[in-house]
Amino acid sequence: MLDTLGGVEPGARKWTELAPDQQARLLDEYRLAYLAEVPVNWCPALGTVLANEEVTNDGKSERGNHPVYKRPMKQWMLRITAYCERLADDLELVDWPEPIKLMQRNWIGRSEGAEVHFPLAYGSAQSPDEIITVFTTRPDTLFGATYMVLAPEHPLVGSITTDAQSDAVKAYQSQAAARSDIDRQADAKEKTGVFTGAYALNPVDNDKIPIWIADYVMMGYGTGAIMAVPAHDQRDFDFARQFDIEIKPVVLPTQDWLKHHAPEGCDKEDVHDLMAHYVAAANTFDAAFGGTGAGINSENDEVSLNGLLTPDAKSAMSDWLKRRGFGKATIQYKLRDWLFSRQRYWGEPFPILHAPDGHIIPVNEADLPVALPEMDDFKPSASDDPDAPPQTPLSRAPASWKTVEVNGVKYARELNTMPQWAGSCWYYLRYLDAHNEDRFVGEEAERYWMGGNGIDLYVGGAEHAVLHLLYSRFWHKVLHDLGHVSTPEPFGRLFNQGYIQAYAYTDQRGVYVDAEKVQDNDGRFTFGGEPVSREFGKMGKSLKNAVGPDDVCEKYGCDTLRLYEMYLGPLDQSKVWNTRDIVGVHRFLQRLWRNFVDEETGELLVTSDRADEALKRKLHKTIKRVTDAMDAMAFNVAIAALIELNNELVGLKTIPREVAENMIPLLAPSAPHICEELWQRMGHEDSISTTNWPTHDPAMLIEDTIEYPVQVNGKLRGKVTVPTDADDAAIEAAAREDENVAEHMAGKTVRKVIVVPKRLINIVVG
């Protein structure tokens, strides 16, 4: 095991046999928190570095939209990559929306493939400096690798470049450094690159293949080097055509693909001719074939992929690579380690001390937590200059805070702080036992609240998919491994609520105007007499379309506001705020009140009278519907069912107590105030929040008779009512007796009769 780790003496087997620096290096390979000199996202305007997750697609900071630059800096990292596999696999354990799971899987970016070692053509292949390792998801195309590409920053570039190519390579390297990753990854047809003058050997056939550098290969992804298979990868194809490199097909495309991409002059109907043409001159086709198919041109003395379908070819090649020591099947992830330090004041200080000789120790446990020093000026040092040295606010802290003496040695405090995510990674655990002075959460409290599958229900926005929700899963797993928490996952069930949207209005210059002051004149919208155009978007300040909840509360009460928000529509979808509709739920509450309380006298109308059979059935049906809907978080449906029941009560002089006692608790979560008031008036001394959720009587849901729709050939032709316990034959007989049904069956042969119990009857004739 130790042998496989970098820099360890062969033969060393025991920890104590290792030199201190070897021990340190080994530990560093495994530490979950480590310092590293890495290319980071530096945002001079914010005066801080940012995690990949905090940088938008167009290279701006997620907060504030400022430009972000790559630059190397020594920073704290958290080794989230050590948990890649479990973070991906354990998504199986949780009840989350599939799109969020998918986003996390994509972000983690698991890909199966193989690593392949390409020896340099002139080297002895003994030293690691003479081997280029690449990762590929398509080891089956190895016979088609006709060149290699290193990222311009790849450490081998300097040593392999020939003198003749040296100037060109250096010029290209500095040109590439000036481009952003986003730029470099953009699918430009025009590829750039420079030949290093060096060659590698393709391990499958010992062919000498040229080594290029090109900026479409990124150092931060995979090994920073690729084997290029131009026949089967579009970017490699574009590159090879541009620089006139051999394009060797090793997978046979589908007929459709050949037809579609063949050059002019081919007989597109003659499959054999197309294939022959492709094998002879794949470079004349207009694209790379990236799909799967049978292998061709892929054979050496020991292994043949010819005729094998892609999955089989992949494993055959991986096996061969492993047998010959040229590589092995492996899994690669897109997720990078998490850049965990920030140059901000408002963040948790690291409990870390730096010794004068550079070694690092943790702050003594008795001195935890490390509190931020009081400072007058705690702003980050913002700058327009991307090369300005980072200045953390804590570097301006009093010397008494910055220096700590331990055993006579003066240590310097770490002056970076943790990112805002640090707190959200574990707050849910602290909330369980917030006053515990001994532990971050007591074991008993943790088991009680988190037991089973973690937090029962976590409601939040989808924007956290690859930030908070990934980071906190990582921390939770670390805590789980250390035995501090009992579940492998923090959030058993996740629910994403949608956004509230509202109409927004722009004037003729395209500037947003205050939506509340816009007048609607039969679909023509004006603001201060000027016409404005209406659009639509997430409610908020930027679109000037926010509706203050205070106004709604003031006018209708907060039960109405609450009810309205729940009634808008499915919780997980974005919904339009339409002030006009509020009166609907407000009327419901007023009607409810009038049903229960005499408006004139204020007398409670709930009596001990028995409910009649129909009302009882309605009640129990409602209990079931509301219960099911609340479980499914379909609050809009639950409220609709209660409105329906309430409408049934309108004609009654008094409300039977058995109805009231069940109905009010059903509504209480949605309209707590009015329900509490009615509950008290009904004679209860305890709050309604302490009462049990009503349960329905299944017997009350069973009807004596059922009305069946009768279809003939799938079209509704009649309806029959039969006793609930009628058997199929009886139902069918009843159906045939219906006049209209009989008419549509007249003179035809019955082919089939489908009786779906409690649903319908379909008679197929022909």
Binding site for RNA (CB under 7 A): 57, 98-99, 102-103, 106-107, 185, 187, 462-463, 465-466, 567-570, 573-576, 578, 580-581, 583-585, 587-588, 590-591, 594, 632, 634, 636-637, 639-641, 643-644, 647, 650-651, 707, 709, 711, 713-714, 716, 719, 752, 754, 756, 759-760, 762, 764
CB-based burial label for 438 (10 Å; 0-12, 13-18, 19+): exposed
Which are the contacts of 177, defined by CB distance < 8 A and separation ≥ 6? 152, 153
267 CB neighbour count, 10 Å cutoff: 11
Q: Rank residues 107 and 320 by Cβ distance to RNA and give the closer one.
A: 107
* Cα distance between residue 386 and residue 178, in whole Å: 12
| Nearer to RNA among residue 225 and residue 296 (C-beta) | 225
Smallest separation (angstroms) from RNA to the CB of 734? 14
Q: Tokens at residue 166, please?
A: 């040296």
CB of 29 closer than 8 Å to CB of 1 = no
* Shortest Å, Cβ 592 to RNA: 10
The residue (of 232 and 413) whose beta carbon lies closer to RNA is: 232
To which H or E segment does residue 209 belong?
strand 208-213
Q: How far is the CB of 424 from RNA (least distance, A)?
A: 18
> What DSSP designation does 252 have?
P
Question: Please, what is the minimum distance in Å from the beta carbon of residue 93 to RNA?
Answer: 20
Q: Which is nearer to RNA, 125 or 754 (CB)?
A: 754
Residue 575 CB, nearest approach to RNA (Å) = 5
Q: What is the dihedral of CA 664, 668, 671, 673, to 10 degrees?
A: 90
Residue closer to RNA (CB basis): 28 or 183: 183
The pairs formed by 181-187 with CB atoms below 8 angstroms and a separation of 24 or more are: 181/59, 181/70, 181/218, 181/220, 182/57, 182/58, 182/59, 183/59, 184/215, 184/216, 184/218, 185/216, 185/218, 187/235
Amino acid at 146: T
204 vs 515, beta carbon nearer RNA = 515
Q: Give the 3-state DSSP-derived string for 743-757, with helices as H, strands as E and coil as C.
A: HHHCCCCEEEEEEEC
User: Least CB distance from residue 377 to RNA, whole Å?
Assistant: 35
- By beta-carbon proximity to RNA, the closer residue of 294 and 760 is 760
Dist CA 678 CA 510 (whole Å): 50
Q: Which is nearer to RNA, 389 or 651 (CB)?
A: 651
Whole-number minimum distance, CB 696 to RNA, in Å? Answer: 14
Q: Quick one: which of 326, 391, 392, 338 has its CA closest to 53?
A: 338
Q: What is the nearest approach in angstroms of RNA to the Cβ of residue 631?
A: 11
H or E element at residue 410? strand 409-413
Distance, CA of 250 to CA of 144 (rounded, Å):
6
| Distance between CA atoms of residues 193 and 181, nearest Å | 16
Closer Cβ to RNA, 358 or 651, answer by number: 651
Residue 766 Cβ vs RNA, minimum distance, rounded to whole Å:
9
In the complex, the smallest distance separating the C-beta of residue 304 from RNA, rounded to whole angstroms, is 32
Shortest Å distance, C-beta 754 to RNA: 4
CB of 584 to RNA, least distance (A): 2
Structure tokens at 16: 């104590």
CA distance 488 to 89: 11
Q: Which residue has the tokens 């082919």?
A: 751
Q: Is 46 exposed, middle or buried (0-12, 13-18, 19+ CB in 10 A)?
A: buried
Nearer to RNA, 131 or 760 (CB): 760
Q: How far is CA 687 from CA 83, 672, 677, 678, 713, in A?
A: 47, 10, 9, 11, 57
Q: How far is the CB of 752 from RNA (least distance, A)?
A: 6
CA-CA distances (angstroms) from residue 386 to 47, 48, 62, 70?
A: 10, 11, 18, 9
Decide whether 236 or 433 has the Cβ nearer to RNA. Answer: 236
Nearer to RNA, 102 or 388 (CB): 102
Nearer to RNA, 5 or 701 (CB): 701
Residues 357-393 as b/e (b if ≥16 CB within 10 A, e otherwise) read eeeeeebeeeeeebebbeeeeeebbebeeeeeebebb
Alpha helices per DSSP H over 451-491: 468-481
